[in-house]
Structure 1
Amino acid sequence: MKKNMGSADRAVRILLIVAIAILYFGNIVTGTLGIVLLVVAAVFLLTSLLSFCPLYTLVGINTCPAKK
């Protein structure tokens, strides 16, 4: 797996994870929507930790800075 996520992309995903967690555990978003958002947050967490997004590979996006 070649890294295809830059640090800014990872930071945005982590902020979204925190926002989703606050909404869910604060009982603002509940039910099916809450569970779907938790699954999305889990995927964001996994891709942020690995610095690799399979969807980016399919679309051809690479947010990593170019190596010189």
Structure 2
Amino acid sequence: MSVNIGSADRIIRALIGVVLLALVFVGPQTSWGWFGVVPLATALIGNCPAYSLLGIKTCKTQ
């Protein structure tokens, strides 16, 4: 599995994931916040399956 997410993209995805997960435990406590697992997981792994299918790569090539 190759890395296709750049550092700025990873930070944004992690922040969005944490904010969405916070909706589950704090605030309106809605179950929609569980969708935050997806951007958080892709940020931690460094690979986005949708980017792979579309041929997008935001990381710098080495």
User: Structure 2-normalised TM-score?
Assistant: 0.82
Instruction: Provide Cα deviations, 1:8-60, integer angstroms capped at 9, x if missing partner.
Output: 11100111112112222114142xxx2x431x211222211110011101111
Aligned-pair identity in percent equals: 40
Unpaired segments ≥5 residues, structure 2:
none
| Larger RCO of the pair (alpha carbons < 8 Å, separation 6+) | 1
Residues 20 and 33, structure 2, Cα contact 8 Å, conserved in 1? yes
Structure 1: how far apart are the matches of 2:24 and 2:45? 24
Alignment of 1:1-68 (within 5 A): 1-30=1-30, 34=31, 36-38=32-34, 40-67=35-62
Question: How well do the aligned residues superpose, as a CA RMSD in angstroms?
Answer: 1.5
Structure 1: how far apart are the matches of 2:49 and 2:36? 15
Q: Which 4+ runs in 1 deviate beyond 6 A?
A: none
SS at 2:53's partner residue? helix
Residues 51 and 57, structure 2, Cα contact 8 Å, conserved in 1? yes
